[in-house]
Structures are given as C-alpha cells and as structure tokens.
Structure 1
Amino acid sequence: MNPIERALGILLMLTGGKLVSATSLAERFQVSHRTIYRDIDRLIALGVPVDAERGAEGGYRLASGYIQPPVALTRNETAALLAAMALVRSSRTVPLAGDLASAEKKLLASLPKSVHGLLKEADRIVGIEPIPPDIFHSGTKAEPTEDWQTALDGFMAGILDSKRVRFDHVNPARRTVKAHDVEPYGVMFDRDLWYLAGRCVDTDLLKVYRADRVRNLEISGLFFRPDRKFSIQNLLGGAWLSQAMRRWEQEEEIAEILITPAQAKKLSADWYYRHAVFTPAKDGRILVSIPSTDRARILPLVRWLGPGTELIGPEALRQELADELQAMAALYAPGSPLEKSA
C-alpha cells in the first residue's frame, strides 16, 4: 500500500467521530507508529483538521463537521444558488471569497455535464447592476483592498470559531488609528459596504465597524460564548447607525442647523441624516444636531437644503459658508462676468 492509499484509509477510519489510537492505525496498515505519525502530519499539512488527544486513552479523529453528507440538489436549485452567488459577488468584496469559489465548483460538479458550459458562463446570463456612488454623502464609497478582504474573512472565521479578533480601526474624521479587541457577532452589507458587528471588550458595547477601515486583523486564541440573543436583523434598517450617532454625540463636536418643517420632512427621509436629532425651535423651525463638524459633510448639506437653512455652528463653518455665498452672489449680481458672458 502506497502512502496516498494509506492516507485515504486513515482518513476513512477517522470519520466515525471516535478516537482511533496510533496503535490501532499501525496494526490496521501494518506499519510502524513513526510511519503513522508522518501520515497524520501529512494530512494536517494538507489542511485536514485532525484532532489529537494525548494519554493512554488518546488518539486521533477528524474535527466535527469536516466531512458532510452529500446533498442532492435539482438542476433548478443549483442554478438558483449560482444566481445568488452572482448577486453576492457583485458587492466586489464578499466574506470568505476563496471558499465561495470552491463551493461554486462543487455545485457545478454535482450537475449533469450538459449544463456545465452554460452555468460556467453565469456572467453571460445573470446581470447585476452595480450600486452607483453616493456623491452627496462623503466617505460612503470605498474601493476593495487586500486589507478589506482580510478583515472580512478573519471576522467571519472568528464568528465560526467563537474566537475573539484583534484589529486596528482607522477613523478618517479624527485621523486616528485605534486598537480593538472584539467578540465577533455578525456582518452586514449596506450601500455597497460591509460592516462588522461585535462586542467591544474594552467598553462592553455592541459596535459596528466598517470593514474597509479595519487593518491588521488577527484571530486571538481566546474563546468567547456567543450571545444567543444577538441577531444581525436587529441592526438593519439603520438601527445600527442610530445607535452609533447617539454614541458619537458624546464623543464628537456637534453641528447645528436650523431648517423649515418642509426641509425637516425631506431630510428625515435620508438614509443617514434621518438618524440625527430633530428638535422644534421657538420660531417654528427645526433644529438639527449632527455629530460631525467635517466641512465636507456639513457644507454640502446646507447647500443642498437651500434657502430657509441657517447654519448655527460651529462658527468657523458658518463664516466659511458666508464667504462662499457672498462670492456666489457677486457672480450672479447684475453686471457680473457671468451675466456679461450670457
């Protein structure tokens, strides 16, 4: 029996879930203990999850769930899964992308050869329109990077293994990088971006992190007990953003803008600003408090809202906006270069 045949035989013997001793394996294949040890090492090097237990009653067995029973799918069921995979791939970055590719190959292998050619060209028959960039809200567009994929894959691996993850989180607004130790709970996709949800160990708070802002993620050796009450569904519909804004209000400077009730109705329909604080003012207008003083975020918002909008603070942004509006007014005034060119 050659080493490949023996390795396959060992693999089959370890699938029962019970511990199999090195002595039993050596006797079964009529080789030495040292040869069995080398065979086990070879299987582990190939990625086979062999669990080993030492002691008089120890032995080897395959990790639970490594070999799954075959699943019989109809042609339509498999095609539906392939179409769903095309939809997921359209997000540019997906969790465990390498595993998704191998799963797709296995699905194809389960189908009759007569449809292989068609399904291998799924891009020709399934079209997914990409999400256009949101030019109004700054910072909502990001190009996939190796760090982004590593963060997403590592976070998913932490969820599956119930292990903490450590990473650095980049905050572009503050221009800071902060280390985080997190118990990973779930991931979600929103407006062409992936978000990572988990319990921050330092603050004991459920936080959501943009995957493209995570760097140097690694899985720690610390296990945690998953929160069975957690569901990523509870963070959808912008619930995570509303919770984050309440926290940002305690950490960031606040921009205040007075708007009309009609403008408030318009703004409350926006996916982002509807989670800001809207407070009735004495003159009948509405005071909107936004936990950010980033000029690239606040000034475009005021311009978009238009007449009836007053930027109350911060004073530096108010003055910058006043100077800008005066320059624009001069450009449109009678006798201006704009009027002459017309």
Structure 2
Amino acid sequence: MPTASSTTTSGRLLSLLSLLQARRDWPGGLLAQRLRVSERTVRRDIDRLRELGYPVQAVKGPDGGYRLEAGTQMPPLLFDEEQAVALAVALRIAAGTGTGIEEAAARALATVRQVLPARLRQRVDALRISAAGRGTDPQIDTGLLLTLSAAIRAGEELRFDYRSPGQPEAAEPRAPRRVQPHHLVVRAGRWHVVGWDPDRGDWRTFRADRMTPRVPNGPRFARREVPGGDVATFLSARFKGSEATDSWPCRGEVILDLPIAKVAPFAGDGVVEQLGTARTRLTAGSWSWAALAATLARFDTEIEVIGPPELRAAFAELSRRAGRAAGAG
C-alpha cells in the first residue's frame, strides 16, 4: 500500500493513483490522511490526474470523495516498482498461454522495459521464463476467449459446436452442444471451459480450442458451486479420472530394485521411501490399473508388488500382452 514517503508531486500522484485503483470510492479526507497532505492538495492532485486523462469523478455524499471510472481513451499508465516488475513477469508468461498474443506481449514488454529505471531493468532482464511444449499446443483466438469470458460473466448458456479428438476441422458438424459455463481455466498450456451440462445433468470440461460458439447465447442460468468448491482441484481430479476427490482412482505400492535417487525424479506425485542402498518403496497412482502397471514397468528393474491385488493382476495381463507382442515379431 502506498505511503506518504514520496514528497514530490510525481511521487504523490503515483501514490494517489494507486489508492484510487485499490478500492471503488475514497473520501477526500481519508485520501488526505493516507497521503499525509491537506484536502486542498488532494483536490489539486485530482485535477492533475484529470489533465493526464484519468477520469476521476467526484462522489456526492456526507463525506464526499472520488472514484476512478473507466474512460474513453487510455491515459498514461503509472506503476509503482512492484507493479512494474509484476507486469514484466506477466508479459513474459503470456507467451505460454496459447492465446496468439506473443508478438503483442513482446512489444508491450519492450515498451515497459524501455522506461524502467536501470536497477529494475536488470531485475526484469534476469528473468528467464520459458514455455514448454508450445510446439504442438493449439493456438487460441483471443476473440474466442473474450466470447467465452463474456458468457461466463453474464451467466448465459453457451451454444456451440464441438470438435472431438481426432475429428478433422472440415468434418461434418454434429448436433450443437450447450453448457452453462462457470470457469475458464488454463491447464498445461491449454484453455478449458468448466460448466454444467443441462442435457447430461453433470459437470463437464471442454477444450476451448475445439469449441465454436453459436450466436446468440442461450438463456441465463443460476450459478452453481463447482464440486468441492475449488475449480483447480476439481479440474485436477477430473484429469485423474476421479469423480469425487483430487486423487487417483487406482493406487498401488511396489518395491523397486533401484536407489531412491533414480526413482524420485520420475515418481511424479508418488511417495518414495528408501529401504536400502538399492531398494526403494514407491506408492503411486493412475487412472487405471493397466496404466499404473505400465507406468511402473518403465523403471526397467525388478518390481515387487506389495498391493493391492488389482495391481498384481494388471501386471499379469501386461505380461501376457507383452508376450503376445514379442511372439508376433
């Protein structure tokens, strides 16, 4: 929160602007108290902000006050040091969201960097943020994201065509889908819409890049609470194949004839325990027993299954499949 340590007019204007952005209405007396100046000085500084293009409106009432409104044009932007660094970090990360705004983000970052003090510029230049896996991730049109966000904000049902995995873009369109959208979420570089499907009576997750909204939107709907109350946890659970909690539906325990140093880096969210110089206990999970057995087999060592029986049966089936594959060669 800004303080009155800045005695210059420019520093005080920056503090005043930060305060006006922090809450909707500010009584003039409270602004003067926070800035440690007179109310007359606050009025003069408000006039200076207006001259710079900031639409600061006077608020009527017993205390009087001010409100920063949305304007018709973008005025000069003022940031404190923490805001400037945070903006630079956000612009660097923007290239990893798959929204197709990489060039614009790079130009904006260059503009911000140009006006930063040397010491802040060094901090920004020291940032090394890379977007992994962007080579095959689909690009999302910014207009599509705005359309989806607008429907969520308005609480309006979405009507859309949905392209299934493997379906070519030129394929014959299927019957339109509909969903009551609640959240637009990024996971692993891909955008997803989380919402209630009224036709199926359940929550559904849709890849945004496969959605083609139809116009107009459907009727308004009453918002629901996502199961568990947290959309990130809900989405993580769905991608693990779990309907209730953020946990794998299939979990097993094995002992690997490997030192813990060779197991831990590849254990994911599993739990590892050292049993000796060359033996490690690993408890891990997956969406199916077959997938768990195949995942554990990649350690390329002797495996002792502790449990449960379903994991042992999955290894037996995996062995039979491997044997048939070897015989076919």
Determine which structure has greater relative contact order: mean sequence separation of CA pairs < 8 Å that are 6+ residues apart, divided by chain length. Answer: 1
Task: Determine which structure has the larger helix proportion and give its number.
Answer: 1
**TM-score, length of structure 2 as denominator length:** 0.46
